[in-house]
Structure 1
Amino acid sequence: MTTGLGAGLALIIAIGAQNAFVLRQGIRGEHVGLVVLVCMLSDVVLIAAGIVGIGAVITAVPAVVVAVRLAGAAFLIGYAALAAKRAVHPGARVTGVQVSGVQGSGLQQGALGRKAALVTALTLTWLNPHVYLDTVLLLGTVANQQGELRWWFGAGAIVGSVIWFSALGYGAKFLRPIFAKPGAWRVLDGLIAAVMLFLGIKMALGT
């Protein structure tokens, strides 16, 4: 189980589209529980799928990975454009709304509704081909090398996912004082746009 925990954390803790989105929602305090839950449950499904052998199906049908890669690249580049737009032209403030005791701050700009947050979290997770290559294929392969202990390995990887996304989503609140100013959000959105664009282009090129 400890081996699975380490392997799971090693694959999850990286600067990526999904983590950037969870961080942003955590700082804003918007639908954090929903976003974190989506990421964790998705990992449970993907890890279990890898252990039962769906990774072999993906390997046998490369077209599946290609299709997911291109769709994911298009979404990431589109998301990068939206983040860049927020950075250049911050959205109007939502008057009369108080977020974590900070009223009229940058925390109120570019708010996402529950449905939009749900769709974005699902898309950033399931349209990421690296999820299938890393979580399903790699973790699935390593897990099956453990023999009868493969499900304990999987349990460890799931625990790693729960720890990481919980820490990222709920721990981000400690950064809120920094992001109480709209200027800080412009910087963050600019960085997110750059990361998303880089990942999108890299994904489209298959590198």
Structure 2
Amino acid sequence: MASSALAGFVASAVLIIAIGAQNAFVLRQGLRREHVLPVVLTCALSDLALISAGIAGLGAAIEARPGLITVIRYAGAAFLIGYAVLAAGRALRPQAMDPAAKAPATLRATLLTCLALTYLNPHVYLDTVLLLGSVAQQHADRWSFGLGAAAASLTWFVTLGLGARRLAPLLARPGAWRVLDALIALVMAALGTMLLIQA
């Protein structure tokens, strides 16, 4: 049981720590200190649901319907490129960079963006549902593997969201926020473009 949980923790950590749309969003929310806990919980609970679905057999159902992944891929690419345009706009307008000058987004808008970045990303299905789900099937105690994987997700998002405030002094100047948003725009645009190329 413990070995399966540890294997799940390591497998999930390797997949989740890579720079991606969801991580960039959590980092930005953490730096702005805006709805951090709800965002962290939304990401962690979403991963728990997706990991559980993969272990329960959703991965096989998705593999049987490749058209579904294609639809998700195009929707995800459109969303990521749109988000990249917004981030680029923030980077190009210095007056929009000061976190104190901008009214915080509503909790509803923040969570909707978080959910879109999570569920419109085809890689979440490929990595979390298909890959982790299939690896879990190789363990005698697949649900312990799933709990370990979910624990890695929770640990990462808590660390990223709440630990981001330690970087706040580095981003005290609007110019630093411009650089951050420019990097986020590049990451989102690259991910969106890769989805279109793979389609």
Would the TM-score normalized by the shorter structure come out above 0.5?
A: yes
Aligned twin of 2:179 = 187
- Residue correspondence of structure 1 range 68-79 to structure 2 within 5 A: 68-79=72-83
8 Å contact kept, 2:94–2:175 = no
Deviations for 1:147-181, whole angstroms, at most 9, x for unmatched residues? 3x100000100100010000000000001111111
Match in the other structure for 1:128: 121
Q: Of 162, 168, 172, which residue of structure 1 is paired with 2:164?
A: 172
Structure 1 stretch displaced more, 50-59 or 108-117: 108-117
| Mean CA deviation greater in 153-162 or 108-117 | 108-117
1:92: how far off? 5.0
- State the shift of 1:90 in Å: 3.5
Contact 1:3–1:153 at 8 Å: present in 2 too?
yes
Alpha-carbon distance, 1:91 to partner: 4.5
* Structure 2 spans left out of the alignment, 5+ residues: none
2:52 matches 1:48: yes
Q: TM-score, normalization: structure 1?
A: 0.91
Superposed displacement of residue 112, structure 1: 2.2
User: Identity of counterpart residues, as a percentage?
Assistant: 58
Cα distance change on mapping 1:91 and 1:122 into 2, 3 Å? farther
Residue correspondences, number: 194
Local SS of the residue matching 1:65: helix
Residue 19 (structure 1) aligned to one of 15, 20, 23: 23
Change (3 A) 1:37 1:18: same
Unaligned regions of 5+ residues in structure 1, if any?
94-105
Report how far residue 146 of structure 1 moved: 0.7
Match of 1:7 in 2: 11
After TM superposition, the structure 1 = structure 2 runs for residues 18-97 of structure 1, keeping only pairs within 5 Å, are 18-92=22-96
Q: Which residue, out of 183, 193, 196, partners 1:201?
A: 193
Question: For the Cα contact (< 8 Å) 2:91–2:177, is it kept in 1?
Answer: yes
